[in-house]
Chain A
Amino acid sequence: MANDVTQPLLEVKDLHTRFHTHRGIVQAVNGISFGIREGELVGLVGETGCGKSVTARSVLGLVRPPGRIAEGRITYDGIDLRSLSRREFRKLRGTGISFVPQNPWGALNPILRIERQFRNVIRAHTDASRQECWDMSLAMLQKVGIQGPERILKGYAHQLSGGMAQRVVMAIALVLNPRLVIADEPTTGLDVTIQRQILDMVMQLLEEERRAMLLVTHDLGVVAQYCHRVIVMYAGKIVEEGPVSEVFVEPAHPYTQALLAAIPRPGHKLVSLRGRVPSLIDYPAGCPFHDRCDFAFEPCSAEEPLLCELSTGRRSACHLSKGVSELDAR
């Protein structure tokens, strides 16, 4: 596990990402801060629309108009990512931060052989020969569990099933052994047994190589079983963060508690959340969760709770959690 004294590999500070729409300004990511250390596998969870993908895209420099990063610092290995040009960002891909999107078809080029798509990524960073590229690609495809990788390399994207295409995209993302992988719902929509096969292989590989990952998902089970740490988002904010072994066993924030209680388990009464996620355009005063929360009391509708450190590496934004020190949001 990552060592606490080292600087985070990726550090996000007070990130605000907004979309300027005709209905108003959507505060998709509303002042979040977090870090990921070398070798750390971090899950990012929360309900639909809470800002997970926008967070990932902000870090990757992929927010496009009408979206805009309004504020915040994003540092990777000492580099200020917001100051990079698109070209410099592309340089970082592959060896630094690589990206696995939810839809593999969008990430694969339909008219290039798979072999060529690997080679383009490898050659952007190294002067490997054609044969070396082939060998690296082949080895990587085997590592993600593809049988008969030669045939795949010689073929095209349309010849692949969904599960195979997702593995190929992962293999391309991992082939240069990047220090940080950002994956947005990489197995959502795949069959559960195939999902399990892919996750077993990829997460083991990352762990062995001590690579870091930010895994965006709405599947709490995936995070509980494969990640070290979890970040829980609600309405554009981080409401809880900490080691998986603590957050999923004793959640501090009422929202995390509600999410876990909503998982159907035989013999337990299902607990459901009332109400709806607040509008990201007319952001409510106070805690964004207060009108759905069973524990809300006076300060909750008036004053926004800050993300407080409960113990080392464990944070929660709730007036009821007693923090050891209040972390300033900035």
Chain B
Amino acid sequence: MTLVRLDNVYKSFQRAGGPVVNAVNGVSFEISPGETVALIGESGSGKSTIARLALRLYELDAGTVYFDGRDLTTLSRDELRHLRADMTIVFQEPYESLNPRQRIGRTVEEPLVIHEQKLTAAERHGRVVDALNHVALGENFYERYPHEISGGQQQRVGIARALVTRPKFIVLDEPTSSLDLSVRAQILQLLADLQDEFNLAYLFISHDIHTVEYVSDRICVMYLGQIVEVGPTAEVFANPQHPYTQALLSSSLSADPRVKKERFLLGGEIPSATNLPPGCFLHGRCPSGDDACAAAHVPLHAYTATHAVACIKVPWHADAEPAS
């Protein structure tokens, strides 16, 4: 059963007078209840755009997003507003997503006021305290202001706000990137506990390989607005097939000096999303890129029953041989 499904989604941006930025170029994946799917990729690869498309916080240029069997792109504003209680988001910068002049309790309460108008004030208060307790902040944080608490506590407030409507699905857009290592561990533990308790589905966005390997069940590797590899996290980490995934994994540096870093194979610069190269987007940087790679775009194809790769050098899975 799937809870969330993106089907061939596209999104581009154009700033006044500027070139068109092709942020998301045909992305599909799905997430089941209780599952954590990670999106990993470099800056500008389209991760945050996908986060917003998955909740239809942005309009899609093309493609469809389904939530709980419903096509979000066809829903009215009102219908969407009801669904917003079930699907929420935690943003990267904890401080920026909080209103500095608003007390913590009010910040956490806000989604209830907007999306669950049937609740009484007393019921809302109970829900807020409950959410604050769940993120281990407690009721005495209710009256505080954002600047009076630490970065890790601010991030907990963001999570409490995402949790207060009792959603089924939370998008976590780099929830720990701005936090120090020691605080990061607390938040990851908290997210894991909440997932177990409420059977939450997570879309977990990160560019930190260690974090993604630790938290996710499945992983989508993105490069320039496309998924180049997807599969169970353990399988992809053990046996990465796309040259970009291989490079990304080998660029992660172990803090154990006895584990020697692998040789790094990519060269050159990342192409601009305003001027995408023809063929495979990686071919200019790829050690095994050749004329065939430059000529034709390669779709994601099955490599094993659960693992798919967008590279023509990677063999097709026996059951998924292309028709031609």
Contacts and interface: CB of A to CB of B under 8 A. Distances in A.
Contact of B182 (A47, A191, A264): A47
Interface in B186-234: 186, 188-189, 207, 209-211, 213-215, 234
Contacts of B186: 272-273
A195 interface: yes
A48 B257 contact: no
A178 to B, nearest CB: 25
Interface in B242-273: 247-248, 250-258, 261, 264, 266-270
A205 interface: no
Interface string B50-94: 000000000000000000000000000000000000000000000
B183 interface: yes
A225 B181 contact: no
A225 B182 contact: no
A316 B261 CA distance: 27
B185 A191 contact: no
B156 to A, nearest CB: 13
A218 to B, nearest CB: 7
A225 B261 CA distance: 7
Contacts of A196: 250-251, 253, 264
Interface in A247-274: 248-249, 258-266, 270-273
Contacts of B268: 147
Contacts, number: 111
A193 interface: yes
B239 interface: no
A44 to B, nearest CB: 15
A197 interface: yes
Interface residues of A, number: 41
A249 B255 contact: no
A249 B258 contact: yes
B257 A264 contact: no
A280 B98 CA distance: 26
A245 interface: yes
Contacts of A244: 257
B43 interface: yes
B180 interface: yes
Given A221-B253, A272-B189, 14 more contacts: A163-B269, A192-B207, A193-B264, A222-B253, A224-B253, A224-B254, A224-B257, A258-B182, A259-B182, A262-B185, A270-B214, A272-B182, A272-B186, A276-B150
Interface of B: 42-43, 150, 180-186, 188-189, 207, 209-211, 213-215, 234, 247-248, 250-258, 261, 264, 266-270
17 contacts: A164-B269, A192-B248, A193-B270, A195-B251, A200-B264, A219-B253, A221-B252, A222-B253, A224-B257, A244-B257, A248-B255, A248-B257, A249-B257, A249-B258, A263-B181, A264-B184, A270-B214
